Structure 1
Amino acid sequence: MDLDEIADRLYSLPLAEFIAAREAEARAAKQAGRPDLARQVAALRKPTAAAWAVNQLSRDHPAELAELLELGEELRAAWAAQDADALGELTGRRSKLSQRLMRLASSAGTEVEQTLDAATVDAGAAEEVRRGRLAKPLSYSGFAPAPIPASRPARKPSEEDRRAAEERKARELAEATAAHEEWRATLAQAVKDRDERAAKVADLERKLAKARRKLAEADQRAEVARREEAHARARLDR
């Protein structure tokens, strides 16, 4: 057993099981006479919800994540070459892939999106995401596309370009609308489930309160009967 194997197991677990499993692994390493490994295991940080969600993408949806990371390599090459056309096309594809992965993630949010963006602009971040052992979300602000040389003449958008832009905006709007509808439905179901459980808890609490009252009454009757029985027994002993 080595640290990589243990880390892979821990970071693949449901989030709520991480701490107990980490402690068990550390104890096992110590009992096996490997105190250094035990200390390394104990130092593994529990992931945040966003980091855990990205980690699970690497396990549950490796093909989709690999597609985004490969596109990141193309993006970095386009930035280095100052290829504005390729940059525009790749940026649009990145947006679609990121949104698809956001919908697949167990916990969607800004930090998940920032982590996926970081993985497309930084090779080191991409490798961390690919390994699936993030303890915290990633962000990256130190890299920006190189400017297009001023000597390059600006190309006036054609009618075809305008139509393509409008179609892209329409697709992005449709995707955003679909994502919103999906999450709105999820929220409605979650609220309904919560309300149903709250009603059950309230009903159980009312039943428990009633049962406690009956228990108190039974205790009182038993106490009265106990006193009367003792009194009657004392009269027999006279």
Structure 2
Amino acid sequence: MRYKPAAAGYLTSVDLDEVADRLYALTPGEFTAAREAEARAAKDAGEVRLARDIAALRKPTVSAWAVNQAARRHADELAELLALGEELRSAWQAQDADALADLTRRRGEVSGRLARLLRSGLSAAAAAEVEQTLEAAVVDADAADQVRQGRLARPLSYSGFAPAPIPKQRPKRKAPTKEEDEAAKAEEAARRAREREEAESAYQEWRDALALAVQEHEARAEKVAKLERKMAKARKKLAEADQRLDVTRREERHARQRLERAR
């Protein structure tokens, strides 16, 4: 379906953020045509500067698009992760080792859960970029703001020092009880089951897509083969017509010469 910008909004001055929100909610495949439509609508409305700013918006990578969807489809999970990031940075400034240890554990759980929601159908490289971007949003406030806006064009990374638990003397670890051991095993089994279910769902989706692609390819290949057969017959008939034309021209020339001699 052809993208239609909110043209009515251009009757008054439109904020670039409003347009960007619409564009970055689309898939990367839809982005370029939609951006051109928005820029054209702004220009037609006399908003030349806005049209130029819209045209400068960059098409998102697949991983950036996936993170952008977190702000729209998984807002609660994203808010939880970013809130943990704020607590982590505060705990690091306060040098609160116990809080850092607990928050780091919770961050791993929340970021892992959100990453699983976002990486379905992505390549391994794109999934890694999603996790890298979420990690940057946890440890860096500016990155968190960008992720929260949902308008990333590229994945984010953070090269600074990430908050981590402050080293301290470790108490002796107690051996897990039988109940704790069974609970851990049950949790691991549930995690594996979820991952298997996600993998099976992604495989089924791409297997169905492959079947459709094969069917379409075969149909088009058959059409091409039929056209090639028709073309071969047409070329043969053309060659026969060329031969008849040569013979006819030769005979017409001979007949004309005989006629001229007979005069």
Q: TM-score, normalised by structure 1?
A: 0.76
CA 184–93 in structure 1, closer or farther in 2 if over 3 Å, else same: same
Which residue of 185, 205, 217 corresponds with 1:198? 217
Matching residue of 2:135: 117
Q: TM-score, normalised by structure 2?
A: 0.70
CA 61–224 in structure 1, closer or farther in 2 if over 3 Å, else same: farther
CA 92–8 in structure 1, closer or farther in 2 if over 3 Å, else same: closer
* 1:101-135 CA distance string (max 9 Å, x none): 333x7776222232233223333222212211111
Q: Does 1:101 align with 2:118?
A: yes
Q: Does 1:50 align with 2:63?
A: yes
Whichever of the two has the greater Rg, that structure is 2
Maintained 8 Å contact 2:60/2:152: yes
CA 16–180 in structure 1, closer or farther in 2 if over 3 Å, else same: closer
What is the CA–CA distance in structure 2 between the aligned matches of 1:219 and 1:162, rounded to whole Å?
A: 83
CA 25–100 in structure 1, closer or farther in 2 if over 3 Å, else same: closer
What is the CA–CA distance in structure 2 between the aligned matches of 1:78 and 1:158, rounded to whole Å?
A: 28
Maintained 8 Å contact 1:65/1:101: no
Deviates most, 179-188 or 132-141:
179-188
What is the CA–CA distance in structure 2 between the aligned matches of 1:185 and 1:12, rounded to whole Å?
A: 26
Identity %: 47
Matching residue of 2:153: 135
Tell me how far 1:149 sits from its aligned partner: 4.5
CA 142–110 in structure 1, closer or farther in 2 if over 3 Å, else same: same
Matching residue of 1:176: 195
Amino acid at match of 1:11: Y
What is the CA–CA distance in structure 1 between the aligned matches of 2:30 and 2:40, rounded to whole Å?
A: 16
What is the CA–CA distance in structure 2 between the aligned matches of 1:74 and 1:174, rounded to whole Å?
A: 31
CA 165–12 in structure 1, closer or farther in 2 if over 3 Å, else same: same
Amino acid at match of 1:18: F
Tell me how far 1:164 sits from its aligned partner: 4.3
Amino acid at match of 1:206: A
Which residue of 208, 216, 226 corresponds with 2:227? 208
What is the CA–CA distance in structure 2 between the aligned matches of 1:110 and 1:87, rounded to whole Å?
A: 19
Maintained 8 Å contact 2:88/2:163: no
What is the CA–CA distance in structure 2 between the aligned matches of 1:12 and 1:95, rounded to whole Å?
A: 23
Q: Does 1:20 align with 2:33?
A: yes
* 1:192-211 CA distance string (max 9 Å, x none): 33332332232222112112
What is the CA–CA distance in structure 2 between the aligned matches of 1:176 and 1:221, rounded to whole Å?
A: 67
CA 132–166 in structure 1, closer or farther in 2 if over 3 Å, else same: same
Tell me how far 1:86 sits from its aligned partner: 4.5
CA RMSD of aligned residues (A): 3.5
SS in 1 for 2:189: helix
Give the total of aligned pairs.
237
Amino acid at match of 1:183: A
Task: Give the gaps of 5 or more residues in structure 2.
Answer: 1-13
